């Protein structure tokens, strides 16, 4: 069957299956060769490709839809990527039988979630839990105590453990650091001899005393804090009032003193010395600081004065210096200019000389008369000797320099 | 939703019998498509003793589309990008080489194998690949250093 037919068949396939075969949990393990490489479940409606790879029909069709490039009639095998055109629905009977067999084992007609009543304890238990319940969990079942090996029913086990003489229990004084742990049968004997057990009532009394003491201490601490706060408040208000009184009427104080001596005297006495002295000290300090400030200000003023003075002097000196330098500059500028003029003047004849030299090179070979012609062109250099030609113009420059010097 | 079924199946297989040096769990219990993989550096590689956190994300089209593998732990390796993504370049994960029959277990084992034997010709970090080819001692030294710094 070719690809198109296969896809068409897949489309027409009735998808309303009774159960989702892939959703099953299989009871037994199955061979991994019976597993579709795409969905990892035992094959459902297996189909085979040319390369002998087998897939579920639905898995293969979704693989084809994903991998096939548009409308070509080829697709790569999902296992080995061999380009494939044909899909064969004929799969070895053996394979189908083996897959069916797995499902037969899994689906032996019983739902694992059905409730089933235990005949002993009459409790309803789910089918999948029944086996465990039947063997281990049913409360009617008998078990043996771990410590004394008495056989009791599971229901009664808890009560038994509470009373079992073989269970290991700690000494009654364990709370008071007795490390002994012995069987319940022997605990009475131990407790008779244990010194800590005899002390228990005493410990209890001490503990309660300690607790009550701690409680009262906490109370006292809180009260103490409240008192301290109040004291600080009172002190601050007193300081305030003393300061106001001291500044307002140092003179009136004597009169005051005389008038209500008996009532206020005692109160003021307690904190007067510190407050008064502190206010006096503070006023002293302020005046001192003020005077210091004043003198410092004067000093600053003076320094400012000096500074402006210095500034003016410095700028004057700078200006003087500047003017002198400007003059100097002008001088040098003039000198440089004159030197430039001289150089130019010097260069001129030299240029002339080279030109005449060139002319002479053209004419020099012809006749001895030519010096006459060249002398007429050379002008000032006419008196000098011919062979030195281009070097000659130097001399007039010497004379020129002498001229400028003068 | 055939993909969920298969992913769940592979997850139970991997948690029940994990391959050597690999431990998988879901990053988020409610999301089957994002996995957290704890990978131990293979012996006889510079990553030995390192514990690497690898993120594996599966497309909803799985197994028809390949998963992607990235290193959350920094690693000095020619086939892992040296940025905050840490994406790993695995040949079998390329879209044109992926086969639906490949299993996640195989992908992870292949990734771990790649730690022991990098493929410099398939590299994403050219500089590291160059160093791996020309100066193996230095490469191993740096890789060991990074493992000590980031993966211990």
Would you say residue A247 lies in a domain? Answer: no
Kindly report, residue by residue over A6-46, the tens digit of the pLDDT: 777 766 665 555 556 666 666 566 777 888 888 888 888 88
Q: What is the mean pLDDT of chain A?
A: 76
Catalytic pick among B32, B54, B89, B108: B89
With an 8 Å Cβ cutoff, are B6 and A81 in contact? no
CB atoms within 10 A of CB B134: 10
The alpha-carbon gap from A37 to the nearest alpha carbon of chain B, in Å, equals: 5
CA distances from residue A268 to A253, B34, B117, B133 in whole angstroms, order as listed: 12, 82, 95, 96
CA distances from residue B21 to A37, A69, B52 in whole angstroms, order as listed: 25, 39, 10
Task: Give the pLDDT confidence score for residue A161 in this predicted structure.
Answer: 80
CB contact, 8 Å: B9 with chain A? yes
The alpha-carbon gap from B90 to the nearest alpha carbon of chain A, in Å, equals: 18
Is residue B41 within 8 A of residue B92, CB to CB? The reply is no
> Average pLDDT, stretch A267-271?
45
Q: Which residues have a Cβ under 8 Å from the Cβ of B85 and sit 6 or more positions away?
A: B70
- The mean-pLDDT minimum among A144-158, A294-308, B130-144 falls in A144-158
From CA A209, how far away is CA A164, in angstroms rounded?
37
With an 8 Å Cβ cutoff, are B10 and A81 in contact? no
CB contact, 8 Å: B63 with chain A? yes
Would you say residue A58 lies in a domain? Answer: yes
Q: Look at A277 and B53; give whichever has higher pLDDT.
A: B53
Sign of CA dihedral A9, A15, A19, A25: positive
Kindly report, residue by residue over A320-346, the tens digit of the pLDDT: 999 999 999 999 999 999 999 999 999
Q: Look at A192 and A368; give whichever has higher pLDDT.
A: A192
- Where in chain B are the domains? 1-150
Phi, psi dihedrals of residue B39, rounded to the nearest 5°: -115, 130
Are A44 and A130 part of one and the same domain? no
Task: Give the pLDDT confidence score for residue A373 in this predicted structure.
Answer: 44
Return the percentage of chain A with pLDDT > 90, whole number.
Answer: 23
With an 8 Å Cβ cutoff, are A39 and B64 in contact? no
Instruction: pLDDT band for A400, please (50, 70, 90 cuts).
Output: very low
Q: Following DSSP, what letter does each residue of A237-291 receive, concatenated? A: HHHHHHHHHHHH-TTHHHHHHHHSHHHHHHHHHHHHHHHHHHHHHHHHHHHHHHH
The alpha-carbon gap from B51 to the nearest alpha carbon of chain A, in Å, equals: 30
Token couple for A251 = 């003179």
Instruction: pLDDT band for A111, please (50, 70, 90 cuts).
Output: low
From CA A40, how far away is CA B4, in angstroms rounded?
11
Kindly report, residue by residue over B60-75, the tens digit of the pLDDT: 888 888 898 898 888 8
User: Least CA distance to A37: which residue of chain B?
Assistant: B101
With an 8 Å Cβ cutoff, are A38 and B5 in contact? no
Q: Considering only the beta carbons, identify the residue of A40, A41, A78 that sits closest to B99.
A: A78
Q: Max CA-CA distance within chain A? A: 165
Give the residue from B44, B60, B101, B50 showing the smallest Cα distance to B80.
B50
Token couple for A95 = 């394979």
Cβ-Cβ contacts under 8 Å between A and B: the total is: 38
- Could you tell me the CATH number of the domain that includes residue A48? 3.30.40.10
User: Least CA distance to A64: which residue of chain B?
Assistant: B64
The domain tally of chain A equals: 2
Q: Considering only the beta carbons, identify the residue of A40, A66, A67 that sits closest to B6.
A: A40
Is residue B80 within 8 A of residue B86, CB to CB? The reply is yes
Task: Give the pLDDT confidence score for residue A318 in this predicted structure.
Answer: 93
- The mean-pLDDT minimum among A72-76, A120-124, A258-262 falls in A258-262
Task: Give the pLDDT confidence score for residue A256 in this predicted structure.
Answer: 47
Phi, psi dihedrals of residue A302, rounded to the nearest 5°: -60, -45
Give the residue from A205, A148, A198 showing the smallest Cα distance to A190.
A198
From CA B24, how far away is CA B34, in angstroms rounded?
11
The alpha-carbon gap from A66 to the nearest alpha carbon of chain B, in Å, equals: 7
Residue B136 CA, chain-centre distance (Å), reads: 22
Residue A393 has pLDDT above 60, yes or no: no
> Average pLDDT, stretch A59-78?
79
With an 8 Å Cβ cutoff, are A78 and B100 in contact? yes
Q: Which residues have a Cβ under 8 Å from the Cβ of A304 and sit 6 or more positions away?
A: none
Are A76 and A144 part of one and the same domain? no
CATH class of B1-150: alpha beta
User: Least CA distance to A77: which residue of chain B?
Assistant: B99
Residue A264 has pLDDT above 70, yes or no: no
Would you say residue A275 lies in a domain? Answer: no
Chain A contact set for B10 (CB, 8 A): 40
Kindly report, residue by residue over A188-204, the tens digit of the pLDDT: 888 888 888 888 889 99
Q: Look at A176 and A203; give whichever has higher pLDDT.
A: A203
Is residue A181 within 8 A of residue A171, CB to CB? The reply is yes
User: Least CA distance to B97: which residue of chain A?
Assistant: A81
Helical H segments across A364-393, by residue range: 370-378
With an 8 Å Cβ cutoff, are B64 and A62 in contact? yes
Would you say residue A251 lies in a domain? Answer: no
Is residue B35 within 8 A of residue B56, CB to CB? The reply is yes
The alpha-carbon gap from B63 to the nearest alpha carbon of chain A, in Å, equals: 7
With an 8 Å Cβ cutoff, are B6 and A37 in contact? no
Task: Give the pLDDT confidence score for residue A22 in this predicted structure.
Answer: 67
Are A21 and A67 part of one and the same domain? yes
Task: Give the pLDDT confidence score for residue A370 in this predicted structure.
Answer: 44
Task: Give the pLDDT confidence score for residue A128 in this predicted structure.
Answer: 76
Q: Look at A124 and B71; give whichever has higher pLDDT.
A: B71
State whether ipTM is beyond 0.85.
no
From CA B126, how far away is CA A350, in angstroms rounded?
72
Is residue B13 within 8 A of residue B106, CB to CB? The reply is no
User: Least CA distance to B6: which residue of chain A?
Assistant: A39
Would you say residue A211 lies in a domain? Answer: no
Helix or strand holding residue A153 (H, E): strand A151-153
Token couple for A321 = 């210096």
SS3 content of chain A, % helix, strand, coil (to 5): 65, 10, 25
Q: Look at A329 and A262; give whichever has higher pLDDT.
A: A329
Helical H segments across chain B, by residue range: 2-16, 104-116, 126-134, 136-150
Is residue B125 within 8 A of residue B39, CB to CB? The reply is no
Would you say residue A320 lies in a domain? Answer: no
Are A117 and A100 part of one and the same domain? no
Instruction: pLDDT band for A214, please (50, 70, 90 cuts).
Output: very high
Would you say residue A378 lies in a domain? Answer: no
Q: Look at A207 and A283; give whichever has higher pLDDT.
A: A207
B152 counts as catalytic: no
Task: Give the pLDDT confidence score for residue A339 in this predicted structure.
Answer: 95
Would you say residue A11 lies in a domain? Answer: yes
Domain that holds residue A42: 3-104
DSSP-derived 3-state class of residue A17: coil
Chain A contact set for B95 (CB, 8 A): none
CB contact, 8 Å: B27 with chain A? no
Task: Give the pLDDT confidence score for residue A284 in this predicted structure.
Answer: 78
Calculate helix-pair angle for A195-248, A184-193, nearest 10 degrees.
Answer: 70
Burial class (CB in 10 A: 0-12, 13-18, 19+), A393: buried
Are A66 and A122 part of one and the same domain? no
Are A41 and A122 part of one and the same domain? no
């Amino acid at each position: 069957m070719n690809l198109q037919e296969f896809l068409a068949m897949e489309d027409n396939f009735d998808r309303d299956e009774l159960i989702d075969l892939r959703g099953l949990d299989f009871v037994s393990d199955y061979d991994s060769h019976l597993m579709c490489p795409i969905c990892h479940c035992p094959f459902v409606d297996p189909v085979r490709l040319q390369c002998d790879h087998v897939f579920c029909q639905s898995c293969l069709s979704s693989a084809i839809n994903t991998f096939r490039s548009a409308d070509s009639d080829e697709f790569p095998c999902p296992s080995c990527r061999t380009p494939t055109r044909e899909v064969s629905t004929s799969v070895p009977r053996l394979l189908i039988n083996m897959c069916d067999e797995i499902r037969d084992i899994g689906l032996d007609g019983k739902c694992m979630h059905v409730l089933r009543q235990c005949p002993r304890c009459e409790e309803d238990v789910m089918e999948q839990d029944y086996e465990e319940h039947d063997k281990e969990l049913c409360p009617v079942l008998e078990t043996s105590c771990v410590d004394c090996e008495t056989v009791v029913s599971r229901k009664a086990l808890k009560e038994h453990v509470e009373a079992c003489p073989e269970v290991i229990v700690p000494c009654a004084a364990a709370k008071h650091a007795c490390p002994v742990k012995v069987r319940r049968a022997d605990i009475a004997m131990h407790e008779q001899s244990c010194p800590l057990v005899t002390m228990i009532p005493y410990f209890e009394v001490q503990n309660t005393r300690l607790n009550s003491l701690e409680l009262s201490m906490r109370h006292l601490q809180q009260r103490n804090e409240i008192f301290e706060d109040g004291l600080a408040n009172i002190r601050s208000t007193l300081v305030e009032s003393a300061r106001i009184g001291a500044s307002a009427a140092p003179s009136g104080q004597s009169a005051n003193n005389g008038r209500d001596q008996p009532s206020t005297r005692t109160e003021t006495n307690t904190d007067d010395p510190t407050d008064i002295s502190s206010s006096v000290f503070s006023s002293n300090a302020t005046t001192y600081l003020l005077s210091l400030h004043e003198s410092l200000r004067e000093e600053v003023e003076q320094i400012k004065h000096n500074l402006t003075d210095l500034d003016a002097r410095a700028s004057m000196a700078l200006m003087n210096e500047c003017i002198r330098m400007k003059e100097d500059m002008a001088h040098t500028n003039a000198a440089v200019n004159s030197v430039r003029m001289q150089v130019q003047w010097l260069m001129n004849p030299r240029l002339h000389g080279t030109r005449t030299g060139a002319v002479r090179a053209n004419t020099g070979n012809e006749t001895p008369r030519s010096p006459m012609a060249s002398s007429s062109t050379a002008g000032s250099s006419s008196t000098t000797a011919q062979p030195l030609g281009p070097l000659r113009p130097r001399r007039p420059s010497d004379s020129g320099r002498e001229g400028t010097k003068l | 939703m055939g993909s969920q079924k298969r992913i769940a199946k592979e997850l139970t297989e991997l948690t029940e019998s994990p391959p050597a040096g690999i431990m998988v769990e879901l990053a988020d219990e409610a999301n089957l498509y994002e996995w957290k993989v704890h990978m131990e550096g293979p012996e006889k590689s510079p990553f030995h003793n390192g514990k690497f956190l690898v993120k594996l994300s599966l497309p909803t089209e799985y197994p028809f589309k390949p998963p992607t593998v990235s290193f959350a732990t920094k690693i000095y390796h020619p086939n892992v990008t040296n940025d905050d993504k840490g994406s790993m370049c695995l040949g079998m994960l390329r879209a044109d080489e992926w086969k639906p029959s490949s299993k996640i277990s195989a992908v992870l084992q292949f990734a771990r194998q790649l730690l022991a034997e990098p493929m410099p010709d398939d590299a994403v970090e050219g500089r590291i690949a160059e160093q791996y080819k020309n100066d193996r001692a230095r490469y191993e030294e740096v890789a060991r250093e990074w493992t000590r710094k980031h993966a211990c």
